[in-house]
Amino acid sequence: MTTNFWQNKKVIVTGGAGFLGSFVTAKLKERGATDIYIPTIEEYNLVNPNDIRRLYDATLKDFDPKNVVIIHLAANVGGIGANREHPAEFFYDNLMMGVELMHQAYKNGVGKFVAIGTVCAYPKFTPVPFKEDDLWIGYPEETNAPYGLAKKMMLVQAQAYRQQYGFNAIFLLPVNLYGPRDNFNLQSSHVIPALIRKAVEAQEHGEKEPPVWGDGSPTREFLYVEDAADGIVTAAEKYNSDQPVNLGSGYEISIKDLSEMIVKMTGFEGKLVWQTDKPNGQPRRGLDVSRAKELFGWSAQVPFEEGMRRTIQWFKENKKLIESREQTTGH
């Protein structure tokens, strides 16, 4: 469905070349957006306030800022291992990007700012399903806390700037994403791409028992990346309020069941061995997804098994390309 919301609008998508960003950009085009700008990391280091100033100077020149929508997806992000090794960078980089992008957008009179948070912002022992009203009932899971809290500050900022300045900033909380074009690098990937790659490579190498972190007991909810993009673009069009909104599928699965599904779907004939001395991360994660439906009529459409099938197929088709890129870049 195209909508005239995007007519005469300029959209700046930070992180627009990344995993989620590429799907958001495609969804924007599908909905009728024609003026989309994606700042590249080579040109703008968004952790640096001067680069953000340069970005806005260049993109807002000769354009009515009221017709500009900023979708801030850029993040310095990784799995449990990366979070344990780089907590300071995850905190600083994500905090500085969010705070300055939103502040300077307000200063420049930008019409709308869509801030993308993270499910890692939720307290470690939030009752499941996670409701947006429970965001402040405790401290996040320690491994992810620096990243989760840095992103959560955009909610505080969005609410404060709306209250004091009438600035239209919204805050969305997508659950763990998965899908084609995800990061399949084992040093920094999330659980689904890591398990898919381990299973596919173990099958190829005749390995019978590849190791997996944790004991498989935690549960997670996953949202197919195309659904997430649809939710973000729909919220950009229709939602203008201060309440944070979850974007999820409403489907919770244990890591153990997930791994068994991946073993079956990849054709791997061995079994995964749990490294129980490694951390599990947050014990349970599942979202209450009713607010998005209620406030802007959005719900996820792609069933989990179908999304997994598409993801595994994409990885198998692109595996050689991924490997050659890793050899070239060294990671």
Q: Which residue in 78, 183, 140, 154 sits closest to 285, CA to CA?
A: 140
Residues 280 and 272: their CA atoms lie apart, in Å, by 15
According to DSSP, the residues that pair with 12 across neighbouring strands are 37, 70
| Residue 290, number of CB atoms within 10 A of its CB | 14
Give the neighbor-by-neighbor strand order of the sheet with 219-224.
176-178, 219-224, 252-254
Is residue 147 part of the annotated active site? The answer reads: yes
16 alpha-carbon distance from chain centroid? 12
| From 44, 56, 106, 147, active-site residue | 147
Q: Which residue in 278, 230, 291, 311 sits closest to 79, CA to CA?
A: 278
3-state secondary structure the chain: CCCHHHCCCEEEEECCCCHHHHHHHHHHHHCCCCEEECCCCCCCCCCCHHHHHHHHHHHHCCCCHHHEEEEECCCCCCCHHHHHHCHHHHHHHHHHHHHHHHHHHHHCCCCEEEEECCHHHCECCCCCCECHHHCCCCCECCCCHHHHHHHHHHHHHHHHHHHHHCCCEEEEEECEEECCCCCCCCCCCCHHHHHHHHHHHHHHHCCCCCEEECCCCCEEEEEEHHHHHHHHHHHHHHCCCCCCEEECCCCEEEHHHHHHHHHHHHCCCCCCEEECCCCCCCCCCCECCHHHHHHHCCCCCCCHHHHHHHHHHHHHHHHHHHHHHHHHHCC
Catalytic residues: 147
